[in-house]
Structure 1
């Protein structure tokens, strides 16, 4: 004896509830995967990988763009052409496409003074990076920052760029 429905509505409801787990629109939405390293993240925001030294241990990026990078080394010096840059144990700031603002933890040597880099802008059209030191800024070709460099433990002086392998 076969089971029969007299009206189409109960048949529809029976099939709907039977198949509901398979056709449900309440499927879990997967979160987009965060890049594995800060070096994978930087190009997504228009920056070359080499603006951060190879000693980056971890990073965090919040949904509002605030970031923090922790470095393995407690002191890290890099030479970019004729610019000496120092990275503290942690660097922080706010990241948006083509712009990093409110930077702390990265300094550059100007004449005899260490001054904080407060922002970096990237211009895809010109291929230049603009580094902001307070109200002053300096533009450098982004191609100088394509390669990730290892930290130097000591301060490099001007003219010592040969110590760091070619960029």
Structure 2
């Protein structure tokens, strides 16, 4: 029996919601490395979109192109069903007020495969996550604090 598009979309949305609750209860980023987190806040995003192990970042102020370097690739297990989210060692994209586009380096596992998060938009008190043509909206208050990584991960 195959699931329809709307059923898959609802399940994926539920998965993203569960991940937000995990991020909301994680630790704050290291105060000495707050610049990447501050850039998110300055552009309308909560700092919890990045894990707590950021080592360095670069941002082209003109184009918005950015690169974030983590200490190691990072894996987070999302309760209650042990869904996985992986952050690559380097995360890249284009940052503008209220929109992160061309995002590379963050993937979630759902429906027995890995899905890349390709963009994030800030819309009032909500964040809209883009996974290809599928979007899911969640309260940005769920991303106030940065998650701690459980260990290194290899992106599949």
* TM-score, scaled relative to structure 2: 0.69
Q: CA deviation at 1:81?
A: 8.2
Judge conservation of contact 2:75–2:84 (CA < 8 Å) in 1: no
Judge conservation of contact 1:128–1:141 (CA < 8 Å) in 2: yes
Q: Tell me how far apart the structure 1 counterparts of residues 93 and 65 of structure 2 sit (CA, whole Å).
A: 6
Q: Tell me how far apart the structure 2 counterparts of residues 85 and 79 of structure 1 sit (CA, whole Å).
A: 7
Distance 1:37 1:85, change over 3 A: same
For residue 30 of structure 1, what is the aligned residue in structure 2?
none
Judge conservation of contact 1:105–1:116 (CA < 8 Å) in 2: yes
Q: CA deviation at 1:40?
A: 1.2
Distance 1:141 1:106, change over 3 A: same
| Aligned 1:1-167 pairs, distance under 5 A | 37-62=35-60, 63-77=62-76, 79=78, 84-124=84-124, 127-153=125-151
Q: Tell me how far apart the structure 2 counterparts of residues 117 and 138 of structure 1 sit (CA, whole Å).
A: 11
Q: Which is helix-richer, 1 or 2?
A: 2
Q: CA deviation at 1:118?
A: 0.4
Q: Secondary structure at the match of 1:39?
A: helix
* TM-score, scaled relative to structure 1: 0.65
Larger Rg: 1
Judge conservation of contact 2:73–2:152 (CA < 8 Å) in 1: no
For residue 20 of structure 1, what is the aligned residue in structure 2?
none
Which structure has more RCO (C-alpha within 8 Å, separation ≥ 6)?
Answer: 2
Judge conservation of contact 2:128–2:135 (CA < 8 Å) in 1: yes
Q: Tell me how far apart the structure 2 counterparts of residues 105 and 85 of structure 1 sit (CA, whole Å).
A: 11
- Structure 1: any 5+ residue segments left out of the alignment? 1-34, 156-167
Q: Secondary structure at the match of 2:63?
A: coil
